[in-house]
Structure 1
Amino acid sequence: MKHHLVIQLARFGDLIQTKRLLATLCARPDSRVHLCLDRSLEPLARLVFPDVVLHPVTAHGTGLNGHEAVRAMLTDNRRAFAGLRAVSFERVYNLNFSGLNFRLAALFDPDTVEGYAWQDGQELISLWPSMAMRWSDQRRFSINLVDFWAGYCPDMLAPERVNPSAQSKGNGLGVVLAGRESRRSLPVEILARMVATTAQARKAPHVHLLGGAGEHGAGQAVMKLLPPAVQARTRNLAGATNWADLVEIVGSLDLLLTPDTGTMHLAAHLGTPVHAFFLSSAWCFETGPYGAGHTVHQAVAPCLPCLETRPCDNGVACLGAFADPGYQRFMTTRKAEHMPSGMIAYESRFDALGQTFHPVAGMDPDSEQRARFRQFILAHLSGDPDSIVEKMTDMDALLAQRIYRERDWITRDPSGSITGP
């Protein structure tokens, strides 16, 4: 039996978005898949990835910073590290750029590690994540994170086999009150209008407000702004659910209304329809819900997508479209002519590379360039870089100059595929 290890030390949403990679490895004959993850997510991972061997470690929540945090993690995780070292892994997929990830990589032969490796005291980054770093300055042309992580495997599972097609389950409307990044979330007043409009239009029998304990107050504020008839069938569950409760509730809904959150990715995993609103740093082509049957309302402006680590100099102008009265009308009629400016409505679709989104209201000026970028990345993943050069247009040549480096073309393994630096 061949053992494969995926090291995913990021948080809730990233764990779920590792699914295509994990599913690809699980589909290989005579394969045993292992997952190293943050200890706090172990109960969730047991629910969503029951066929995967889990290796929990302490990656977050130390209360420390920098080298002190890494030192504490290494001390706490000695037993987990010993367990990992005891397994002979065919391949290790190390997905995160962090001090702890590089220290974990040091447990393994660097020739077996894809992503972020460690050799003779040096941090090494393989070609695929290096390319992503180079195209990150053009985030409008990025690819879905689910597909990016699956791209480490040339035999990646067909995208339509990753998550079930979304369909209503009968238990009404779920509402995620806020995301981890504040500017990605809607103010209470706007969210309450959206909830009321959606619940009334869909005649939702129940409305479930979801979030952590820190969002309980926001849930109470939303409830106070709802029409009495909607308020009567609404429950504020913020801070009142564990992982098992969340999986059960989200898996029973007719629709989940949400910003870009881990719960959104959980809904896609479970085949629950998602109606997502993306603004600020959230960009649906990077982290939109994975699967068929989902809708994203994406704010668009020349400054988007931004970085929330930097202050917004535009007064979070991307909120404007969601506050526009025409937006509520569009949500009711679904007619493209009612869509306010500054927003595009997308439906989730698949292409040969993976998840993409098709505009159904509003104009997408980047669609042609994005399609060419996706074709370029697909050609790279096909393992025949020489064919890219032969068929290259002027636009492709610019992409190649930005994404490749000379050593990428001359550093190849015996099979002819490009290897990392």
Structure 2
Amino acid sequence: MNVLIINLTRFGDLIQTQPVISGFARAGNRVGLACVDNFASATSLLRDLDTVFPFPGARLLSLLDKNWRESLGAICDYRDMILSSFTPDVVVNLTPSVPARLLSRSLEASRVCGFSLDEHGFNADTSPWAAFLQVAGNNRGSSPFNICDLFLRAADLNGDPEGLRLADPGAEHVRTAKKLLHLPEIEHAGFVALQPGASEERRRWPVGRFAAVADELWQQRRLVSVVLGTQGEAALGKRIEESADCPVMNLQGRTSLPELAAVLRQCCLLITNDTGTMHLAAGMGTPVVSVFLATAQPWDTGPYREQCLCLEPDLDCHPCAFGAACAKDNACREAVPVEAVSAAVRRVLDGEGEVVSGARAWVSQFDEQGFLTQNSVSGHGSDDRTRWIELQRVFYRRFLDGDSLEGLSRFGDEMSPQFVEALQSTLSSARDYLFLMQQQGALLARNPRDTLKKKFMASWQQLQNILTENPSLEVLSSLWLFESQQQGHDFSALRKVIDRYAALVAAIHDLL
């Protein structure tokens, strides 16, 4: 069969599509990929691909500004190009945007996984996992699942025990990397890569601290630091060069994506913020120490490979909510000390079980169900936040797979009484309103009176208010809102959603 995967997002998410590509290829399928043309060169790093269809995103946006009819015609031309050479039997759309949904539906494959549209133009997600993937994209600080696992489940695939393993760099790119790293005038023991950039300033660990770690690695191990990133991040690299008292090679803006992959292969370690380079290093098999600040957290966007070490501030307010201004003047940027990163580096390079202090530190590992998880190496494994994340992984996995929520062991004894009491209070109120909506729904099905409709909608709004008030239930609140609104045009389907969530809320309450 021909399987077309649609991922019209950024570089890091494109790289994280690899487990889905390989999952379908292992089953004997031919696999094609539709991606934004800006990142088409990165597809040489992906294994098991038979063909690639670069999506002309910038051109289509330009046409939209001039004439939407021309833009629509260009989309149809793009669809026809795919159909002329790779008629898909299965379409896997991992991008919830309207253009990606339109493309997914217009290809008229016999099977669609992920995001599409129904015959009326409403969003049509093919599974609860797809709905969770969309919700997680807007609430990544709260998601208990790695984005690669969400991609796999939305595609109706199981976890990949290999993790993220990309294609080997080509011989010409390896030669270029070795030439860039040629340093005959200095006796050294190898290279360590630094990526000081990130998508936002508040998600960047201070440049001076990168320089301090570079100094330490040179003094103690004779490792030369190699600064990576784009030309637009060159000022960060220059500041590291000026601050460090050790040899520093600045390759920012000097490599293509395949050459960057080859450079990472030559390095014994990458120290980075939450970036696309982090995922590329994981895919190259290069050990990773990464710092997660502001909205970033490792359970969701950490590298999809075992034995990577992720650090985050040991602050109650971390991670930040998306779209919200920081009330503490981005204090988390200063909250991960050099000593914590140095300890993480020693643990990774020396293979010893050193306890990391000064930050929340996690080592990645696959659990028994094949999902990536995080194990604390800083003494935070028994915190309320950690236990709550672990509990969510248990009940959401069953809920989204459609499995029974019965027979789960109590979990509340492992969290503080105050935390459990706050959750139970919210869940008890939510359970009552879901029961009320079940009763109101049964009455409406028999007699759809306007007064009862108003009461039903008032109950729905009150339930949403209750869930939103507890930040620990952010995922549940967003998922309920999304799924209930999705079925707003189909009352029978909405009643089934209410029944599902009534069972889920009752099960969580009882587990506590």
> Structure 1 residue 356 and structure 2 residue 370: aligned?
no
Q: One-letter code of the match for 1:96?
A: T
Give the structure 1 partner of residue 489 of structure 2.
Answer: none
Shift of 1:56: 0.7
| 2:288 is the counterpart of 1:283 | no
Q: Which whole-Å CA distance do the structure 1 matches of 2:20 and 2:3 have between them?
A: 11
Corresponding letter in the other structure for 2:18: K
Other-structure match for 1:418: none
What's 1:213 paired with? 231
Larger Rg: 2
**SS in structure 1 at match of 2:277:** helix
Contact 1:198 1:332 in 2 (8 A): no
Q: Quote the residue 2:130 is aligned against.
A: 129
How far the C-alpha of 1:98 sits from its partner, in A, is: 1.5
Q: Which amino acid aligns with 2:251?
A: L
Task: State which of 394, 399, 410 in structure 2 corresponds to 1:375.
Answer: 394
Question: Pairwise mapping of residues 133-172 of structure 1 onto structure 2 (< 5 A)?
Answer: 133=134, 139-160=141-162, 162-163=164-165, 171-172=190-191
**Quick one: distance in 1 between partners of 2:242 and 2:149?**
41
Query: Deviations 1:284-317 (Å, cap 9, x if unpaired)?
Result: 0001011122111112423222245332221111
SS in structure 1 of the partner of residue 89 of structure 2: strand
1:177: which partner in 2?
196
Equivalent residue, structure 1, for 2:255 = 241
| Unmatched tracts of structure 1, length 5 or more | 412-421
Match of 2:78 in 1: 80
Deviations 1:13-35, CA, capped at 9 Å, x for gaps:
00111111111111113x11111
**Structure-2 separation of matches of 1:69 and 1:188:** 45
Distance 2:6 2:67 in 1: 18
Q: Which moved more, 1:354-363 or 1:249-258?
A: 354-363
- Indicate the structure with greater helix content: 2
| 1:351-400 deviations in Å (ceiling 9; x for gaps) | 0242111111142422222222222233346x452x22465869899699
User: Equivalent residue of 2:154, what SS?
Assistant: coil
| SS of equivalent to 1:151 | helix
| Paired AA for residue 79 in structure 2 | F
Structure 2 CA distance for aligned equivalents of residues 337 and 272 of structure 1:
22
* Aligned-residue offset at 1:128: 1.9
| 1:88 maps to amino acid | T
Bigger shift: residues 103-112 or 50-59: 103-112
Asked whether 1:45 is paired with 2:33, we answer no
Q: Is residue 336–residue 361 contact of structure 1 (8 Å, CA) maintained in 2?
A: no
Deviation at 1:62, TM superposition (A): 6.9
Give the aligned partner of residue 333 of structure 2.
319
* SS in structure 1 at match of 2:198: coil
The amino acid across from 1:344 in the alignment is R
Q: Secondary structure at the match of 2:303?
A: coil
The CA deviation string for residues 88-118 of structure 1, in whole angstroms up to 9 with x for no partner, is 3222111112232122123133862222212
- Which residue does 2:216 correspond to in 1? 197
- TM-score of the aligned structures, taking structure 2 as reference length: 0.68
Structure with the larger RCO, 1 or 2 (CA within 8 Å, 6+ apart): 1
Residue type of the alignment partner of 2:230: G
Deviation at 1:39, TM superposition (A): 0.8
Change (3 A) 1:73 1:186: farther
* Aligned mates of 1:336, 1:72 — CA distance in 2: 60
More displaced, 397-406 or 279-288?
397-406
Measure the CA separation in 1 of the matches of 2:64 and 2:215.
45
Alignment of 1:256 onto 2:270? yes
| Secondary structure at the counterpart of residue 310 of structure 1 | coil
In structure 1, give the amino acid aligned to 2:372: Q
User: Per-residue deviation at 1:134?
Assistant: 5.4
2-structure distance, mates of 1:333, 1:251: 19
Cα distance change on mapping 1:42 and 1:15 into 2, 3 Å: same
Distance 1:374 1:257 in 2: 28
The one-letter code of the counterpart of 1:267 is A
Q: Which consecutive residues of structure 2, in runs of 5 or more, have no partner in the other structure? A: 167-177, 179-188, 348-352, 413-422, 435-475, 485-492, 498-512
The offset of 1:336, in angstroms, is 6.4
Contact 1:177 1:219 in 2 (8 A): yes
TM-score, normalised relative to structure 1: 0.82
With 194-203 and 113-122 compared, the bigger mean Cα shift is at: 194-203
Distance 2:305 2:261 in 1: 17
Q: Deviations over 1:165-192 (max 9, x none)?
A: xxxx984101112012221112322222
Q: Structure 1: which amino acid aligns with 2:211? A: A
CA–CA separation in structure 2 for the residues paired with 1:304 and 1:70: 42
RMSD: 3.4
Number of aligned residue pairs: give it.
Answer: 395
Q: Which residue of 1 aligns with 2:106?
A: 107
Question: Quick one: structure 1 residues 61 and 327, their matched pair in 2 at CA, closer, same or farther if it must change by over 3 Å?
Answer: farther
The one-letter amino acid of 2:158's match is M
Identical amino acids, percent of aligned pairs = 23
Q: C-alpha deviations, 1:62-99, integer Å up to 9, x for none?
A: 77698779877645554332122344322211111223
SS at match of 2:77: helix
Structure 1 residues 101 and 67 mapped into 2: Cα distance closer, same or farther (>3 Å)?
farther
Aligned twin of 2:240: 222
CA contact (8 A) 2:195 2:271 kept: yes
Q: CA 1:182–1:60 in structure 2 vs 1: closer, same or farther (change >3 Å)? A: farther
